[in-house]
Structure 1
Amino acid sequence: MKDISCKLLVIGAGPGGYVCAIRAGQLGIDTVIVEAGKPGGTCLNVGCIPSKALIHAADEFEKIVQMADGNSPLGISVTAPALDLARTLSWKDGIVSRLNSGVSSLLKKAGVKSVRGWARFRDGKTVEVDTETGTQVIRAETIVIATGSAPVELPFLPFGGRVISSTEALSLSEVPQRLAVVGGGYIGLELGTAFAKMGAKVTIVEALPRVLAQYDAELTRPVVKRLAALGVEVMAGVKAKGLSEEGDALLIETSEGEDARVAADKILVTVGRRPVTEGWGLDEIDLDMAGRFIKIDRQCRTSMRGIFAIGDVTGEPMLAHRAMAQGEMVAEIVAGHKRDWDKRAIPAVCFTDPELVAAGLSPDEAKALGGDIKIGQFPFAANGRAMTKLGEDGFVRVVARADNHLVLGIQAVGQGVSELSAAFGLALEMGARLEDIAGTIHAHPTQGEGFQEAALKALGHALHI
């Protein structure tokens, strides 16, 4: 097989990798991208997109179940609701397939050459790819590592059989009657909530004192309340220990130190993700590491000249949009543009019920910097649009400096608040002050009005509370 030479080689076609390759192609850089699986990586194929499809289907089914029970305040009633999970998964897979094709088309449009197979470094300028037709050698002036991450496997709960990762959870042939979720982070709660709505008896097992510990307790309170309403049992301060001999239960240690069992047909392990740093020849090159991750500077350069790294393999936050932004920046740096990583905030969204959004600093983080702060919080119970959507439980919160009113952080919990993340991120990136947000006319009736009202509240003159 004839060797390939190029200016830029991207290893991994996940969100960071394919965006990097597309932007490089647009800038006229001779680019090759290597991917062992389908384009789009974890996010598109077994993560962000299919999970949101399943979550949406679960939301719709739960609404119909409420109507069948005569509990809908909208006065709508139906009979005999049923869920055909096979059709649901077919719909979900159709979305993924369309997006796969879309990414492939965009790469082709940008003039990027795609190579299907597993890449492994020979040296800092050369990789070999195991393809279906043999070994392909690729030499490049610059290489971008975008190998992503994979679910963490617990040694006492190895994946297989009844023990599954988020990947298998998105392809189950039927809804399990009893689902134990090990890990109360955003992945566990998103999927646990969805399966509860589809009829599963869900138990969340979390070793920390509370679920969603990366968010402050006030922000997560509506989510915990909703979990209880859905019949989800949350066991915090509890450690998973393994699978029972019969394989029908999760063994746990309670907060009192006692052994117990959680009956389960499936055990979903969601205790985090690890960077994929093995299997592609890291030992053949000499990269400095930051713990488990590849160490990078503000331009995503590694310790070896001509090698960049982006996305999950470089550390937290492991978010697709962070990887995309890094990929775009690196492509422009390779093209000779002056770029630097100077992000004030990377919004994080948790697609629970209700949804959570956090951008910038939380109140506690802002206080830790020293100096006085102002906090403005506006409840969706006073927002007309939220009320018409039965989404009164939640709020928008703005955190700002007390002296000059510079906005430091914005958080929200509520139905559909993920769509406010763009406004939150923009406000922080533009260096908005409370007066800027308060003085911007927000359309009525929308939940976005809560953002304006939170800023007004911080200034001391909210209009609707």
Structure 2
Amino acid sequence: MNSEQSRPEQAQLLVLGGGPGGYTAAFRAADLGLDVVLVEREATLGGVCLNVGCIPSKALLHTAHIMDQARGLTEQGIDFGEPDLSLDKLRGWKESVVSKLTQGLAGLARQRGVRVLRGEGRFTGPDSLVVHSEDGARELRFSKAIIAAGSRPARLPFLSEDPRILDSTAALELEDIPERLLVLGGGIIGLEMAAVYAALGSRITVVEQAEGLLPGCDRDLVEPLRKDLEQRYEALYTGTRVAGVQPQACGLKVSFECDRSPEVFDKLLCAVGRLPNGGLLDADKAGVRVDDQGFIAVDEFQRTNVPHVFAIGDLAGGPMLAHKAAHEGKVAAEVAAGLPVANEARVIPSVAYTDPEVAWVGLTETQAQRENRRYEKACFPWMASGRAQTLGAGAGLTKILVEPDSGVLIGAGIVGPSAGDLIAEATLAIELGLEPAEIGLTVHPHPTLAETLAFAAEAYEGTLTELYLGGKTPNT
């Protein structure tokens, strides 16, 4: 170390990790007057979500959706022909989107006076941390800390280091478009990346060990997606495990734990979940308890067992979602600044940006049946929506779940175009404790997909005119 590096950096608040949760916490704390140091191991802020996750994948999914829409116009008498794909230009456009946003975050950090240290941070005590970088090690002293170090892709032990075996980060590099791609995992990440590669020309096979795609999501919401993918993909194998992957000169020979014959694929995408990074930070040296999986338990104030150390995002448990991390980041920053707040979010929405999109929030029927909880429901099929028909989205569905005793909304699910945007109204309704009648009596613009939530609420109340219900309320 040189003499400059030997002097510890001082901060009122350390934020470890510059993803959506970390930079949100750092910026909010700075706005509240705290002196903040943000430690990020990568060259740019934004974490997995902005750099190698949410944003680049959504950029590519937008492109894939436009390509699929153009192909679909042949049924309406318009044929554009097959697209002329320039992979370099597409990759460059995707990277330009990410670059604009990361540069924006760097500017916001400067404007707020947040000091950003590049390197990998590891705790050395309850109020100290060392940042390791190419320039050496730098010590940091802090009064309070927020751990926001995120997660990493899980990898199955039988997979080799063959470059043809990809995780989601490598898949987003778009090195090439394989003729045959096996997607190992039928969850959100796997299906989103499958959609991108399918639109760009790959023949897709999806393998999911659960009995259906998007495990945990209600089957009636997944069914329109499943039917669509069955028509467009080479195969969907559910209730199936991969037994082994043998690299060969001609491709990857994949065997299955069933009577299915081995198959050869050009590449394999492993998308079987993510692992929290709590165990990679030497948090125990700060006295913070980390469980065997790498999660850090927190209370309603995002505090760990060490009162002046907070944890947020993927490693704090719950759904590994950027919007959850950002919300927790604000809570932790405000508590650290002395504000009387707590994390009181009732629900966290989930979205699969597939085609069609699938979104859900609050109680699901799957969860209710597993926990033996009482509920009532109402559905509005999009075949009765004028706007959905104009979009060729008549297979969509909007449904709501209602608590029988209080009569308030406790869950909702949507499948169809823009489901991720539409679910926001249902999320707000649950947070406010609204009843279906209050949604139904709110005048929605027509013709829109947004009004399908109002129609589902009217179906529950028995006032729906868009369908004939026989004078009965279908809330069973």
Same fold (TM over 0.5): yes
Partner of 1:5: 10
Q: Does 1:21 pair with 2:26? A: yes
**How many pairs align?**
459
Deviation string 1:417-441 (CA, Å, 9 cap, x unpaired) is 1111221211111111111111111
SS in 2 for 1:121: strand
Q: Any residues of structure 2 matched to 1:175-194 within 5 Å, and which?
A: 175-194=177-196
Q: Does 1:54 pair with 2:60? A: yes
Partner of 1:268: 269
Cα distance in 2, alignment partners of residues 280 and 133 from structure 1: 19
Cα distance in 1, alignment partners of residues 111 and 298 from structure 2: 30
Q: Taking structure 1 as reference, are residues 88 and 371 closer, same or farther at Cα in structure 2, changes over 3 Å only?
A: closer
Cα distance in 2, alignment partners of residues 357 and 145 from structure 1: 29
Residue in structure 2 matching 1:417, options 405, 416, 419: 419
Partner of 2:278: 277
Shift of 1:12: 0.3
Partner of 2:38: 33
Shift of 1:371: 6.8
Partner of 1:294: 296
Residue in structure 1 matching 2:172, options 155, 166, 170: 170
Deviation string 1:92-141 (CA, Å, 9 cap, x unpaired) is 10000011011111122222111111111111100111234332211000
1:113 maps to a residue whose letter is R
Residue in structure 2 matching 1:407, options 406, 409, 412: 409
Deviation string 1:60-82 (CA, Å, 9 cap, x unpaired) is 22233445xxx332x22223422
Cα distance in 2, alignment partners of residues 273 and 62 from structure 1: 29
- Tell me, yes or no, if the aligned pair for 2:127 and 2:286 is still in contact at 8 Å: no
Partner of 1:95: 97
Cα distance in 2, alignment partners of residues 168 and 368 from structure 1: 36
Shift of 1:369: 6.2
2:27 maps to a residue whose letter is I
Q: Does 1:109 pair with 2:111? A: yes
Once the two structures are overlaid, the 10-residue window that deviates more, 193-202 or 359-368, is 359-368
Once the two structures are overlaid, the 10-residue window that deviates more, 170-179 or 77-86, is 77-86
SS in 1 for 2:458: helix
Cα distance in 1, alignment partners of residues 26 and 247 from structure 2: 49
Cα distance in 1, alignment partners of residues 233 and 21 from structure 2: 38
Cα distance in 1, alignment partners of residues 56 and 373 from structure 2: 43
Q: Taking structure 1 as reference, are residues 426 and 77 closer, same or farther at Cα in structure 2, changes over 3 Å only?
A: same
Cα distance in 1, alignment partners of residues 211 and 97 from structure 2: 37
SS in 1 for 2:278: coil
Q: Does 1:236 pair with 2:241? A: no
1:61 maps to a residue whose letter is M
Q: Taking structure 1 as reference, are residues 245 and 363 closer, same or farther at Cα in structure 2, changes over 3 Å only?
A: closer
- Tell me, yes or no, if the aligned pair for 1:193 and 1:227 is still in contact at 8 Å: no
SS in 2 for 1:410: strand
Shift of 1:173: 2.3
Cα distance in 2, alignment partners of residues 211 and 370 from structure 1: 23
Deviation string 1:225-262 (CA, Å, 9 cap, x unpaired) is 110121341011211122224162342324xx336322
Cα distance in 2, alignment partners of residues 237 and 127 from structure 1: 45
- Tell me, yes or no, if the aligned pair for 2:125 and 2:287 is still in contact at 8 Å: no
Cα distance in 1, alignment partners of residues 384 and 72 from structure 2: 25
Cα distance in 2, alignment partners of residues 213 and 405 from structure 1: 28
Residue in structure 2 matching 1:72, options 72, 75, 95: 75
1:263 maps to a residue whose letter is V
- Tell me, yes or no, if the aligned pair for 1:180 and 1:262 is still in contact at 8 Å: no
1:9 maps to a residue whose letter is L
Shift of 1:365: 3.2
Shift of 1:206: 1.2
Cα distance in 2, alignment partners of residues 354 and 150 from structure 1: 27
Q: Taking structure 1 as reference, are residues 262 and 329 closer, same or farther at Cα in structure 2, changes over 3 Å only?
A: same
2:37 maps to a residue whose letter is V
Q: Which runs of 5+ in 1 are unaligned?
A: none
Partner of 1:329: 331
- Tell me, yes or no, if the aligned pair for 1:357 and 1:411 is still in contact at 8 Å: yes
- Tell me, yes or no, if the aligned pair for 1:120 and 1:128 is still in contact at 8 Å: yes
Shift of 1:290: 4.2
How many percent identity over aligned positions? 36
Partner of 1:395: 397
Partner of 1:362: 364
2:252 maps to a residue whose letter is A
